[in-house]
Amino acid sequence: MGTAQKKTVRAAIAAVNAYWTGEKSAGDVASTLLSPAVVLEIIGATPLSGSYKGWGQIREVLAATLRTRLRSLTVGITELIGGDDKIAAMISLSGMTADGRPVNAVGDPCGALFVMDGAKIAKIRLFIDTIEIETLLFGRRFAAADDKGQIGR
């Protein structure tokens, strides 16, 4: 059940990797695997969180921002489950920041939900490690609590 849709999701992940290594143009990915009205939603409250509507916004806002923060990115699928219109995936992410620090050095997976429109991806909900985004990509620091558990006093 959902074999063709799982194949599309696998192809989309492979295309993300190809995009980061410069092997395949972003336009090819959009026209063959994504619905014209695709929405990518990054769950959380980071500078990257929110909804990106359409391939243009994904490419020109999200990917452009990531390219300023990352030297490399590798995405993999560790598990896929689901049926015809919804595919859930466990995703592995790794790479290097622009200043040479490893991304997700411990190898924690993140989750993703792909909502299909026939053979194309209509929506992606990405449940990514928000601490990695905040600290590694945007340089945020956590304030230490004092001996009474108070922060910033």
Give the tens place of pLDDT for each residue, 107-116.
Answer: 888 999 999 9
Pick from 35-49, 55-69, 75-89, 123-137: least confident: 123-137
Structure tokens at 32: 């063959």
Is the predicted pLDDT of residue 153 greater than 60, yes or no?
no
Most confident of 22-31, 34-43, 125-134: 34-43
Q: Are 1 and 81 in contact (CB under 8 A)?
A: no
In the chain, which residue ranges form alpha helices assigned H by DSSP? 3-21, 26-33, 54-57, 64-69, 130-132
- Residue carrying the six token digits 């921002």: 65
The closest of 42, 47, 20 to 139, measured between CA atoms, is 47
What pLDDT was estimated at residue 44? 85
d(C-alpha 20, C-alpha 74), whole Å: 8
d(C-alpha 122, C-alpha 119), whole Å: 9
CATH code that applies to domain 3-130: 3.10.450.50
Structure tokens at 48: 């990257």
Is the predicted pLDDT of residue 67 greater than 60, yes or no?
yes
Alpha-carbon distance values, 35 to 15, 119, 138, 145 (Å): 15, 9, 31, 47
C-alpha count within 13 angstroms, C-beta hemisphere, residue 81: 2
The pLDDT-based confidence of 42 (bands split at 50, 70, 90) is very high
Is the predicted pLDDT of residue 47 greater than 90, yes or no?
no
For 102-147, write each residue's pLDDT tens digit. Answer: 988 888 889 999 999 998 999 999 998 766 666 666 666 666 666 7
pTM for the structure as a whole: 0.82
